[in-house]
Amino acid sequence: MKGEKKQFIVGYDGGYSNTKLTYGWSDHDKFTTEIFAATGIREQASTFLKRKNQDEVTVQVDGEKWAVFGPGKSQEREINSGYSKTPIYKALYLGALDKISKVTKEIDILVTGLPASQARNQAIVKPLIAMMQGVHKIDEDTEVVVRKVLVIAQGSGVINDVLNSIDDPNRLFRSNILVVDPGYYSVDYVVYEKGNLNERASNSSVEAVRSLISTINELMRDEIHTEPGLDTIEEAFRSNEKSIYLFGKEYDLIPYIEKAKKIVYPRLLSQVRNDLSFMSTDRVDEVLLAGGGANLYEGAVREAYPNARINVSAEPVASNSRGFFFYGLGEVESQNG
């Protein structure tokens, strides 16, 4: 509409393995999606081995320099429910703002997500908004202002992505939908009944990719009497490698992955079914599957809901950030009436 001020929208998904960004102007049809490795290291912890890549940037967190999005692994990554309160989470967020600063230094609306169990906890949401909103000094020369931050459940990002990506979005408003978003730390699942979010049936489980990796590590330890280590297995997952090397010998990961699935999946599906008992009906019409672990969990979802229509996101890793961006666009439209 004429006279409406264009706004810059950002969808930000700060995961354990990857940082995902989708951004663009509210009056443009095009938007940009970027994915960076969620790695961060304090400058004082740096070694003499320098392998800076084109994605790596340096930011300041409370006066201390951090290098983020670089090669290798993070030395201070915390895998727990308090991740959004950690220095590395803030460092990665500032790194994302640094990337966006090449386009604009003023963000009107930034939408991000938390696991479903945390997104309804204001003791977690309010401090996160306070950290993300406002003026941020990235380095000596760069400041970025974020005017408004919205926090929603991560699975809600997926459904907003799908709504804006399929030819018949109206069918989703006539269906009972289970959104399954397997990440590294948690599997988030969100339920929509005829277009309405059912918070009581939506939740998070820790039976996620990390649980699979831990189980694989234990299975290999028991069978070959040595542990590959969680980092080694995670790196293989991230690189889509089907084997790892230990002491000069190659080990096929596939048999261990299949064994781990048989241990982890039943625990996850038991929790999901218990939570879905809060639905007004036991019928699931459609399942939307996204997230970095979508390929690992697709088989379990199909087995658990054989009569449902299974939709796997075309861009599973970036699905949440894309959906957050679309949610932000919807916020602009509602503001404009």
Residue 162 lies in a domain: no
Q: Consecutive sets of 10 residues in the chain, 337 residues long: mean pLDDT of each?
A: 77 92 92 93 63 81 89 68 88 96 97 88 94 93 95 90 86 92 89 90 91 96 92 86 92 96 94 91 91 89 92 90 96 83
Q: Output the pLDDT for position 1.
A: 45
Cα gap 128→118, rounded to integer Å: 11
On whether both 111 and 236 belong to a single domain, the answer is no
Residue 135 belongs to a domain: yes
Do 114 and 240 sit in the same domain of this protein? Answer: no
Q: Are residues 19 and 145 in the same domain?
A: yes
Q: Where are the beta strands (DSSP E) in the chain?
A: 8-14, 18-25, 32-37, 40-42, 57-61, 64-68, 106-107, 109-114, 134-137, 143-146, 149-153, 176-182, 187-193, 196-205, 243-246, 249-252, 286-289, 309-312
146 and 181 fall within a common domain: no
pLDDT reported for residue 32: 96
| pLDDT score of 10 | 98
100, 98, 131: which is closest to 114 by C-alpha? 131
194 within a domain of the structure (yes/no): yes
The answer to the question of residue 160 being in a domain is no
Q: Which residue has the tokens 């989708």?
A: 22
* Predicted local confidence at residue 337, as pLDDT: 66
> Does 302 lie in the same domain as 191?
yes
Please give the Cα distance from 148 to 153 (Å, whole number): 17
Side-chain-side CA neighbours of 71 within 13 Å: the count stands at 7
Question: Does 3 fall in a domain?
Answer: no
Supply φ then ψ for residue 243, to 5 degrees: -150, 165
Question: Do 71 and 139 share a domain, yes or no?
Answer: yes
Adjacent-strand bridge partners of 110: 10, 149
Whether the Cβ atoms of residue 256 and residue 220 lie closer than 8 Å to each other: yes
The position carrying tokens 């009569």 is 307
Mark whether 251 and 121 lie in a shared domain: no
pTM of the predicted structure, to 2 decimals: 0.87
> Strands 109-114 and 8-14, how do they pair?
parallel
Domain annotation covers residue 293: yes
Residue 156: other Cβ atoms inside 10 A: 24
Domain assignment of residue 63, yes or no: yes
Q: State phi, psi for 14 to the nearest 5 degrees.
A: -90, 90
The answer to whether residues 75 and 126 belong to one domain is yes
**Is 164 part of a structural domain of the chain?**
no
Residues 306 and 324 in one domain: no
Q: What is the CATH number of the domain that holds 94?
A: 3.30.420.40
Whether residue 37 sits in one domain with residue 150: yes
- Does 307 share its domain with 323? no
Tokens of 84: 């959004």
Q: Which two tokens stand for residue 195?
A: 């277009």
Q: Which domain holds residue 65?
A: 8-155+319-336
pLDDT at 329: 94
Do residues 183 and 304 both lie within one domain?
yes
What's the structural domain count of the chain?
Answer: 2
